[in-house]
Amino acid sequence: MSVYENVDYDGLLAKMDQKSFVIDVRERHELAATGSLPNSINVPLGELENDLNLSAEVFEKKYQVPKPDKDNSEIVFSCARGNRSRRAAEIAFKLNYKK
Protein backbone atom coordinates (compact mmCIF):
# COMPACT_ATOMS: atom_id res chain seq x y z
CA MET A 1 0.00 0.00 0.00
CA SER A 2 1.38 3.40 -0.98
CA VAL A 3 1.73 6.12 1.64
CA TYR A 4 1.13 8.84 -0.91
CA GLU A 5 -0.86 9.71 -4.01
CA ASN A 6 0.61 11.67 -6.91
CA VAL A 7 -1.60 14.51 -8.13
CA ASP A 8 -1.16 16.88 -11.04
CA TYR A 9 -1.80 20.62 -10.85
CA ASP A 10 -5.56 20.24 -11.41
CA GLY A 11 -5.65 17.57 -8.71
CA LEU A 12 -3.78 19.89 -6.39
CA LEU A 13 -6.32 22.65 -7.01
CA ALA A 14 -9.14 20.21 -6.22
CA LYS A 15 -7.41 19.18 -2.99
CA MET A 16 -7.01 22.84 -2.05
CA ASP A 17 -10.76 23.35 -2.62
CA GLN A 18 -11.37 20.42 -0.26
CA LYS A 19 -9.48 22.27 2.47
CA SER A 20 -6.46 20.00 2.42
CA PHE A 21 -3.40 21.24 4.29
CA VAL A 22 -0.82 22.17 1.62
CA ILE A 23 2.85 22.18 2.60
CA ASP A 24 5.39 23.35 0.03
CA VAL A 25 8.69 21.63 0.82
CA ARG A 26 10.85 23.65 -1.58
CA GLU A 27 13.68 25.79 -0.24
CA ARG A 28 12.95 29.43 0.57
CA HIS A 29 15.19 30.69 -2.25
CA GLU A 30 13.10 28.66 -4.72
CA LEU A 31 9.92 30.32 -3.50
CA ALA A 32 11.58 33.72 -3.81
CA ALA A 33 12.39 32.93 -7.45
CA THR A 34 9.15 31.24 -8.52
CA GLY A 35 6.49 32.24 -6.01
CA SER A 36 4.43 30.18 -3.63
CA LEU A 37 1.19 28.27 -3.92
CA PRO A 38 -1.87 30.10 -2.60
CA ASN A 39 -2.97 28.96 0.86
CA SER A 40 0.15 26.89 1.43
CA ILE A 41 2.86 27.07 4.03
CA ASN A 42 6.54 26.61 3.32
CA VAL A 43 8.38 24.01 5.38
CA PRO A 44 11.62 23.11 3.59
CA LEU A 45 12.14 19.36 3.45
CA GLY A 46 15.17 19.53 5.75
CA GLU A 47 13.01 21.11 8.48
CA LEU A 48 9.87 19.02 7.99
CA GLU A 49 10.49 16.18 10.45
CA ASN A 50 11.49 18.58 13.21
CA ASP A 51 8.56 20.92 12.57
CA LEU A 52 5.95 18.15 12.42
CA ASN A 53 7.24 17.11 15.85
CA LEU A 54 6.68 20.60 17.30
CA SER A 55 3.88 21.06 19.78
CA ALA A 56 0.66 22.41 18.28
CA GLU A 57 1.24 25.73 20.04
CA VAL A 58 4.80 26.20 18.76
CA PHE A 59 3.85 25.09 15.22
CA GLU A 60 0.99 27.60 15.09
CA LYS A 61 3.20 30.38 16.42
CA LYS A 62 5.85 29.63 13.77
CA TYR A 63 3.51 29.25 10.77
CA GLN A 64 0.40 31.22 11.80
CA VAL A 65 -1.81 28.21 11.02
CA PRO A 66 -2.94 25.31 13.22
CA LYS A 67 -0.76 22.23 13.12
CA PRO A 68 -2.29 19.46 10.99
CA ASP A 69 -4.01 16.74 12.97
CA LYS A 70 -2.37 13.32 12.64
CA ASP A 71 -5.66 11.49 12.20
CA ASN A 72 -7.96 13.92 10.42
CA SER A 73 -5.96 16.41 8.34
CA GLU A 74 -5.25 15.55 4.72
CA ILE A 75 -1.78 16.90 3.97
CA VAL A 76 -0.68 17.61 0.41
CA PHE A 77 3.05 18.12 -0.11
CA SER A 78 4.31 20.14 -3.05
CA CYS A 79 7.73 20.68 -4.60
CA ALA A 80 9.23 21.35 -8.02
CA ARG A 81 9.29 17.83 -9.49
CA GLY A 82 7.76 15.45 -6.97
CA ASN A 83 10.83 13.86 -5.42
CA ARG A 84 10.89 15.99 -2.28
CA SER A 85 7.13 15.83 -1.84
CA ARG A 86 7.29 12.03 -2.00
CA ARG A 87 10.03 12.06 0.66
CA ALA A 88 7.92 14.47 2.74
CA ALA A 89 4.96 12.06 2.58
CA GLU A 90 7.22 9.25 3.78
CA ILE A 91 8.40 11.40 6.70
CA ALA A 92 4.82 12.30 7.65
CA PHE A 93 3.77 8.64 7.46
CA LYS A 94 6.70 7.68 9.70
CA LEU A 95 5.45 10.28 12.21
CA ASN A 96 1.99 8.64 12.16
CA TYR A 97 0.17 11.15 9.97
CA LYS A 98 -2.64 9.14 8.40
CA LYS A 99 -3.75 11.17 5.34
pLDDT at 73: 84
Phi, psi (deg, nearest 5) at residue 89: -60, -40
Q: What is the mean pLDDT of residues 4-15?
A: 68
- H/E element, 41: strand 40-42
| pLDDT band at 1; cut points 50, 70, 90 | very low
Average pLDDT, the chain: 86
Fold exhibited by the domain 9-94? Oxidized Rhodanese; domain 1 (3.40.250)
pLDDT at 96: 93
End-to-end Cα, the chain, rounded Å? 13
Handedness of CA 58, 59, 65, 68 (dihedral sign): negative
pTM for this predicted structure: 0.82
Examine the pLDDT at 52 and tell me if it is beyond 60: yes
Handedness of CA 42, 45, 47, 49 (dihedral sign): positive
CA distances, 92 to each of 5, 11, 33, 74 (Å): 13, 20, 27, 11
Q: What is the mean pLDDT of residues 57-75?
A: 92
